Structure 1
Amino acid sequence: MHTQKKDHLPQLQNDPGGKGRLLIFIVAYNAENTIENVLKRIPVSLSDRYDIEVLIIDDSSQDNTFEKSELAKRAGLVPFKLTVLYNPKNQGYGGNQKIGFHYAMENGFDWVALVHGDGQYAPECLPELVEVLATKKAEVVFGSRMLEKRAALKGGMPFYKYVGNKILTTYQNFMLGSDLSEFHSGYRLYSIEALKTIPFSLNSNDFHFDTEIIIQLIFARQRIMELPIPTFYGDEICHVNGIKYAWDVVKATFLAKVQPFHIFYDPKFDCKPAEEQQAADAAAEEMHLEAILSKEIPDRSNIMLVGNIPDKLKEHLRECGHFVNVKSARFFLDHMTSEHSLDYIFLLDDSVSRNPEEMVAKLREVCMYSPDLKICVTIANIGFFLTRLLLLFGRFSYTRRGIINFNSFHFFTLRSARKIFVQNGFAIQDILGLPVPYRAIFSSNGLADFFMSVHRGLIRIRKSLFSFQFVFFVTPPPSLQHLLASAMEISGEKSRKIDE
């Protein structure tokens, strides 16, 4: 994410692209005493550069907020188109934002500016804030009360809120690798294109919606710029439960942080660009590559790869002069017959966990006349200590990759994985335990290598508990057909020797 900060408001510039469409979205709840003043403070000069509409959504207020807003519309209080909506059931601060953002998308706006109906955030700053989006300096702009040192306190922010804001923001920046001056300003402007890149509709309806949407924007690599705004605390009523809000923020940030570990999965945070997902997959695949190639493969071997095979593995094997044939798991199950010419079969990418009994039985059939064929199989370990701990607390969530991923239908411990091969007569030559693919998680190779080294040490202590994944090297059992054919062949040779 690129975050930028400005020490002063930029000068308004001419918009070379003509008038863009700006929705000024006012979230309102019990704001009958302030809503008219907020409308009057919106700079009329905005209409010189932008096609403006003001949207007020009254979130089922218990006072006359809707009536005051509707009368202001009829009186022509502002020189812009004014739309006033009323939620028949309170949607919460986050839920109200979702409706407004959806309105902006459905009605073809370019940008949406979030303003509060209680007047805490100055509408007078809108021209400078929207200019950032109009000139494409960023996709998102926040009005920050914390950029100017202690300005928030001078503007009346209670000291405990100031300290809490600082503590939470420091924690969030540390966890997310960002450098925002604050995560908790409600003065925000978004480009509609940026909102389209994230699943904001999955976010909480509560106040920490604001934290979740920032996390999504960071993950989606949208540029965020902050500009200083004045702080104003009047006699408005705060509807936020501070302790609950702080806990929700800490929890959401932590869950977002651990997404790359594939321990927890939350679809609302699954919004990284496709190229980043592919890079993470490639880093994880290198672990398989390293393990598979740890076994020496004789020159010019005939190798079959089954499953979604890493390109690096295919390229490496071919560069080494091996004959490589790639099959999908479905093709292998439906169409493969006994093979005499194969030297190796690699079953990767959950090809066993989807249909274990069927796949192992098919392996026996394919290897019917090839008892010397060598087989390599990768299997995720449901007995991994973190997974056991999560199960103890009732957590069982599928993830994009890892042990409990979207492609897995069956799960294995070391014992159960070993058992399915042994019961089918396969001889286990070796079992490697793999650590978590830390290089897919940490940007620092040094840090990743450190954790990998520690993890490998733990695997040596207890493979069944600390292996994130297993690599089985097995050989097939001699089939009855093969044994009978061998017996008949040897018997014929011995009989001929007697005749001689």
Structure 2
Amino acid sequence: MTDSNSPAAVSPEAGELAPVLVIIPTYNERDNLESIVSRVHQHNPQVHVLVADDNSPDGTGEIADKLAAADERVKVMHRAGKQGLGAAYIAGFQWGMDHGYQVLIEMDADGSHRPEDLPSLLRALEQQRADLVIGSRYVKGGEIQNWPKSREILSKGGNTYIHLIMGLRVRDVTAGYRVFRRSTLEAIGLDSVRSAGYCFQTDLTRRVNNAGLKIVEVPITFVERERGQSKMSRSIVVESLWRATSWGVQDRFAQLTGKNKQR
């Protein structure tokens, strides 16, 4: 893993929020990585990027190393193998906090999370004093491009179910474009997070909500990947809904008994 000293304070339209780290997990994203890192810095020149690569067999890790060698704003974490999205983000969060970053951002490598939208998410974190900002597809102004209608119906239906079963006042619970304060991550018990797949996003939303912290949703344009293969599958959707049901039952029981523990 490439390393460096703690970052100097930077200000990507975020004032006191700097320094900022964008965490990009990768597995077989060689066709997308260089473009997404370039776009991040085109629209947010002061932020740093951590590529967390799960030993991609297509050589994504080597491309990340070349980017890091050419630009001190790019860092690389080489992981032993594919261990799930949640595990990659947790490792990235911990690396970022160990290196002094105060704002930590989740972003996909495939371009579905547009770097052009990041300044508005950072502004919301500061101006609305949010603890977590979610780039939302399902609030007013949010948009999805290039999804088949069946995929959109599945996503909206899943979010509606999670919203109802868990009692969360969040429209896009499963969104993966997120901005966290360091203090938020420290408050929600990352060491006890066991979710590794796409239900990881639901898990962290629940934890932030149960901790009484402020969640703000900002509309984004979500663009389906043009290159590479989506890692979404029916089994991932089923696991996410099953876990949401389990968490919802736990939280309702905790409310009735006066015990609100995160698990």
**TM-score over 0.5 (shorter chain):** yes
Match of 1:124 in 2: 116
- How far the C-alpha of 1:162 sits from its partner, in A, is 0.5
Partner SS for 1:254: helix
Q: Aligned equivalents of 2:119 and 2:98: distance in 1? A: 24
Q: Does 1:105 align with 2:97?
A: yes
Gaps of 5+ in 2: 1-11
What SS does the aligned partner of 2:107 have?
Answer: strand
Q: Which residue of 1 aligns with 2:211?
A: 220
Q: Which runs of 5+ in 1 are unaligned?
A: 1-11, 263-269, 271-275, 282-398, 401-500
The whole-number CA distance in structure 2 between the counterparts of 1:148 and 1:236 is 30
Number of the residue aligned with 1:63: 58
Count of matched residue pairs: 248
Considering only CA atoms, is the larger Rg found in Structure 1 or Structure 2? 1
Secondary structure at 1:258 match in 2: helix
**Relative to structure 1, is the Cα distance of residues 68 and 196 closer, same or farther in structure 2, using a 3 angstrom cutoff?**
same
Q: Secondary structure at the match of 2:104?
A: strand
With normalisation by structure 1, the TM-score equals 0.46
TM-score w.r.t. length of structure 2: 0.84
Deviation at 1:184, TM superposition (A): 2.1
Equivalence for 1:259:
250
Cα deviation digits, residues 186-242 of structure 1 (max 9, x gap): 11111111111112332212221111111111111221111111121123311122x
| Cα distance, 1:261–1:239 mapped onto 2, change above 3 Å | closer
Tell me by how many angstroms 1:83 deviates.
0.8
Tell me the residue number matched to 1:294. none
Alignment-derived partner of residue 189 in structure 1: 179
The residue type equivalent to 2:33 in the other structure is I
**Residue equivalent to 1:28:** 26
Residues 1:130 and 1:14: Cα distance change in structure 2 (over 3 Å) = closer
Distance 1:181 1:71, change over 3 A: same
Tell me which of 41, 45, 49 is aligned to 1:54.
49
2:154 to 147, 161, 164: 164
- The offset of 1:255, in angstroms, is 1.6
Quick one: percent identity of the two aligned structures?
Answer: 23
CA RMSD, aligned part only? 2.6
| Corresponding position of 1:458 | none
Aligned AA (2:209): I
Shift of 1:43: 4.0
Conserved? CA contact 2:14–2:122, under 8 Å: no
Residue of structure 2 equivalent to 1:236: 228
2:7 equivalent in structure 1: none
Give the conservation status (yes or no) of the 8 Å contact 1:43–1:127: no
Aligned residue in 1 for 2:8: none
Partner deviation per Cα, 1:271-298 (whole Å, 9 max, x = no partner): xxxxx89x927xxxxxxxxxxxxxxxxx
| One-letter amino acid of the structure 1 residue matched with residue 50 of structure 2 | L
Tell me: CA distance 1:258–1:161, structure 2 relative to 1, closer, same or farther (3 Å): same
In structure 2, the CA distance between the partners of 1:160 and 1:24, relative to structure 1 (3 Å rule), is same
Conserved 8 A contact 2:27-2:60: yes
Pairing 1:175–2:157 present: no
Give the match's secondary structure for 2:161: helix
Contact 1:23 1:113 in 2 (8 A): yes
For residues 21-420 of structure 1, the aligned pairs below 5 Å read 21-44=19-42, 46-47=44-45, 52-76=47-71, 81-135=73-127, 137-148=129-140, 151-152=143-144, 155-201=145-191, 202-233=193-224, 234-241=226-233, 243-260=234-251, 280=258
Paired with 1:208 and 1:158, the residues of 2 have a C-alpha distance of: 22
The code of the aligned residue for 1:97 comes to Y
- Higher RCO by CA contacts (8 Å cutoff, separation 6 or greater): 2
- The one-letter amino acid paired with 1:134 is E
Q: Supply the distance in 1 between the matched residues of 2:34 and 2:99 (Cα, whole angstroms).
A: 25
Distance 1:112 1:149, change over 3 A: closer
Shift in Å, 1:136: 5.0
